[in-house]
Amino acid sequence: MFKNAVFKILFLSAMTISLAGCHVVDLDENGKPIIPMSAAEAGLLKNMTPEAISEKLWPLVKKDARDNAVELSSIKKDTSLVSFVRFQGVVSRLDESVIKKSLIIKSGDYDIELQIGSIIKGNSIRDSASIISFDKFKNQIQFAQLSKALNKKSISQVIQPDASWAGKTVNVLAAVTINNNKITYAVPLEIKEGGL
């Protein structure tokens, strides 16, 4: 009996000591353990917010745009593409008549509606950037939110033209979508007043 009691005390002592070394892990809303990320995992794009990704990639996106932009005048008719483009044109007007603000620019055969307001449509910047690919992201939602973050970042960095720009020549670096000879979702990365 004495041996049995000693064995029980030793067993309980060993269990108490082993439990003292345990770490209680928090659970998420689904009851699954939340396992902390390593520093390397935290640095992966799929584990960052779209805003943080935008901040991290913005200098690379701008460099990509400057280095790889094609001249708008060199794009053949009946071409469909999403690309960074450079062009020079004359400002027709500033359109503030709708929720989204835009600068209308005449360049060659194109009337380009350059989105410059707080509401920017499309994925032109994200889809033009050669450094961004879907496989680096967690899911479609994060990938879509990155478009919004990049658009917002771009608009925060460009000069905001006003109505006095009408009739003036501008040089533009933008991300555009071209379908059926029509430019849509044009988002400026740079707008400079004046000719070449």
Query: Domains plus CATH for the chain?
Result: 39-193 (2.40.50)
CA angle 17, 19, 22 (to 5 degrees): 120
**What letters, b where the CB count within 10 A reaches 16 and e where it falls short, cover 49-69?**
ebeebbeebbeebbebbeeeb
Which parts of the chain have pLDDT scores under 70? 1-3, 12-25, 34-44, 98, 195-196
pTM, entire model: 0.77
Give the per-residue pLDDT at 76: 86
Q: What percent of the chain has pLDDT over 70?
A: 83
Using one digit for the tens of pLDDT, what is the confidence trace for 131-148? Answer: 999 988 888 999 999 999
Give the per-residue pLDDT at 39: 64
Give the per-residue pLDDT at 46: 73
